[in-house]
A and B are shown apart, each in its own frame.
Chain A
Amino acid sequence: MAYVSIADRDHEIEHHDDPQTFVAKYVWSQDHKVIAIQYGGLAILIGLFGMVLSSMFRLQLGFPDTFDFINPENYYQFVTLHGMIMVVYLLTALFLGGFGNYLIPLQVGSRDMVFPFMNMLSVWVYALSVVILMASFFVPGGATGAGWTLYPPQAISPGTPGVDLGIVLMLVSLAVFIVAFTMGGLNYVTTVLQARCRGMTLMRMPLSVWGIFMATILGLLAFPALLVSAIMMLLDKLIGTSFFMPAMMAAGEVTEYGGGSPVLFQHLFWFFGHPEVYIVALPAFGIVSDLLSVHARKNIFGYRMMVWAILAIGGLSFIVWAHHMYVSGMNPYFGFFFATTTLIIAVPTALKVYNWVLTLWQGNIHLRVPMLFAIGFIFTFTHGGLTGLFLGNVTIDLPLSDTYFVVAHFHMVMGVSPVLVVFGAIYHWYPKMTGRMYNETLGKWHFWLTFLGTYSLYLPMHYIGFLGVPRRYFAMGNTDFMPDSAITLNTSMTISALIIAATQLIFLYNIIVSLKKGEKAGGNPWKATSLEWLTPDTPPKHGNWGHDLPVVHRWAYDYAVPGAPDDYTPQTVPADEVPVGRDHGVDH
Chain B
Amino acid sequence: MPMAIVLILLVVGTLLFHFLSPWTFTPLASTWVQIDETINITFWVTGFVFVAVNLFMAYAVIKYRAKKGSRATYDPENKKLETWLTVLTTVGVAAMLTPGLFVWGDFVTVPEDAHEIEAIGQQWHWTYRLPGDDGQFGNVDPKHITHENPFGMDPADPLGRDDVLVYNPEVHIPVNVPVKVNLRSKDVLHDFAVAQFRVKMDLVPGMETFLWFEPTIVGSYEVLCEELCGIAHHTMRGAVVVDEQADFDAWLDAQPTFAETQQSSAGNAALGAAQYAVCAACHGQQGEGLQALNAPKIAGQEPWYLRRQLENYKAGLRGAHDDDIYGKQMAPMAATLVDAAAIDNVIAHIQTFPDNPAPTTIDGDVGNGQRIYNVCAYCHGKDAEGIQAINAPRMAGMTDWYLANQLRNFNAGIRGEHPQDFYGKQMGFMGRTLHDEKAVTDVIAYINTL
Contact B234 A252 (CB under 8 A): no
Once A154-B230, A159-B123, A365-B66 are accepted as A-B contacts, the answer to whether A251 and B387 lie under 8 Å apart by CB is yes
Contact B72 A560 (CB under 8 A): yes
CA A407 to CA B197, docked complex, whole Å: 21
Contact A466 B201 (CB under 8 A): no
Mark contacts of A431-470 with chain B using CB atoms, 8 A cut-off: 1 yes-contact digit, 0 otherwise. 0000000000000000000001001000110011011101
B101 at the interface (CB under 8 A from A): yes
CA A485 to CA B20, docked complex, whole Å: 14
Once A159-B231, A382-B53, A382-B54 are accepted as A-B contacts, the answer to whether A395 and B189 lie under 8 Å apart by CB is no
The residue that A329 contacts in the complex, of B38, B73, B198, B209, with Cβ under 8 A, is: B209
Contact A398 B199 (CB under 8 A): yes
Contact B26 A398 (CB under 8 A): no
* Most chain B CB inside 10 Å of its own CB: which residue of A452, A475, A567: A475
Q: Which residues on the B side are within 8 Å of A480 (C-beta)? A: 221-222
Q: Which residues on the B side are within 8 Å of A116 (C-beta)? A: none
Contact A586 B90 (CB under 8 A): no
Once A159-B378, A399-B200 are accepted as A-B contacts, the answer to whether A259 and B206 lie under 8 Å apart by CB is yes
B14 at the interface (CB under 8 A from A): yes
Q: Which residues on the B side are within 8 Å of A489 (C-beta)? A: 23
Given contacts A366-B66, A477-B428, A481-B195, 19 further A-B contacts (CB under 8 A): A68-B435, A71-B375, A72-B232, A72-B433, A76-B231, A299-B76, A305-B82, A327-B201, A364-B70, A379-B10, A379-B54, A389-B42, A398-B35, A399-B25, A399-B198, A402-B226, A459-B14, A460-B17, A560-B73
Mark contacts of A198-240 with chain B using CB atoms, 8 A cut-off: 1 yes-contact digit, 0 otherwise. 0000000000000000000000000000000000000000000
The residue that A339 contacts in the complex, of B75, B101, B199, B221, with Cβ under 8 A, is: B101
Shortest distance between the CB of B303 and any CB in chain A (Å): 16
Shortest distance between the CB of A333 and any CB in chain B (Å): 7
Smallest CB-CB A-B distances: 3 pairs: A246-B206, A468-B195, A252-B389
A562 at the interface (CB under 8 A from B): yes
CA A301 to CA B60, docked complex, whole Å: 14
Contact A467 B24 (CB under 8 A): yes
CA A240 to CA B364, docked complex, whole Å: 41
B326 at the interface (CB under 8 A from A): no
Shortest distance between the CB of B78 and any CB in chain A (Å): 7
CA A260 to CA B189, docked complex, whole Å: 13
> Interface size (A, Cβ < 8 Å)?
123
Contact B22 A485 (CB under 8 A): yes
B130 at the interface (CB under 8 A from A): no
A473 at the interface (CB under 8 A from B): yes
CA A161 to CA B233, docked complex, whole Å: 12
Q: Which residues on the A side are within 8 Å of B81 (C-beta)? A: 358
Once A302-B82, A332-B107, A401-B200 are accepted as A-B contacts, the answer to whether A389 and B26 lie under 8 Å apart by CB is no
Once A343-B97, A354-B85, A375-B61 are accepted as A-B contacts, the answer to whether A68 and B439 lie under 8 Å apart by CB is yes
Instruction: Find residues 104-137 in chain B having any chain A CB closer than 8 Å to their own CB.
Output: 104-105, 107-108, 122-124
The residue that B231 contacts in the complex, of A73, A350, A390, A393, with Cβ under 8 A, is: A73
CA A358 to CA B56, docked complex, whole Å: 9
30 A–B contacts, CB within 8 A, in A order: A71-B433, A72-B430, A160-B188, A249-B145, A254-B145, A301-B75, A304-B77, A328-B204, A339-B97, A350-B49, A354-B85, A357-B56, A361-B60, A362-B72, A364-B64, A364-B72, A367-B65, A382-B50, A383-B14, A389-B42, A389-B93, A395-B38, A395-B107, A403-B226, A466-B23, A476-B234, A480-B222, A481-B196, A559-B72, A586-B76
CA A158 to CA B380, docked complex, whole Å: 13
* Most chain A CB inside 10 Å of its own CB: which residue of B79, B141, B188, B232: B188
CA A483 to CA B26, docked complex, whole Å: 10
Instruction: Find residues 378-432 in chain A having any chain B CB closer than 8 Å to their own CB.
Output: 378-379, 382-383, 386-387, 389-390, 393-396, 398-399, 401-403
B86 at the interface (CB under 8 A from A): yes
B356 at the interface (CB under 8 A from A): no
Mark contacts of B192-220 with chain A using CB atoms, 8 A cut-off: 1 yes-contact digit, 0 otherwise. 01011011111111110100000000000
B7 at the interface (CB under 8 A from A): yes
CA A584 to CA B60, docked complex, whole Å: 25
B248 at the interface (CB under 8 A from A): no
A522 at the interface (CB under 8 A from B): no
Shortest distance between the CB of B410 and any CB in chain A (Å): 12
Q: Which residues on the B side are within 8 Å of A261 (C-beta)? A: 206-207
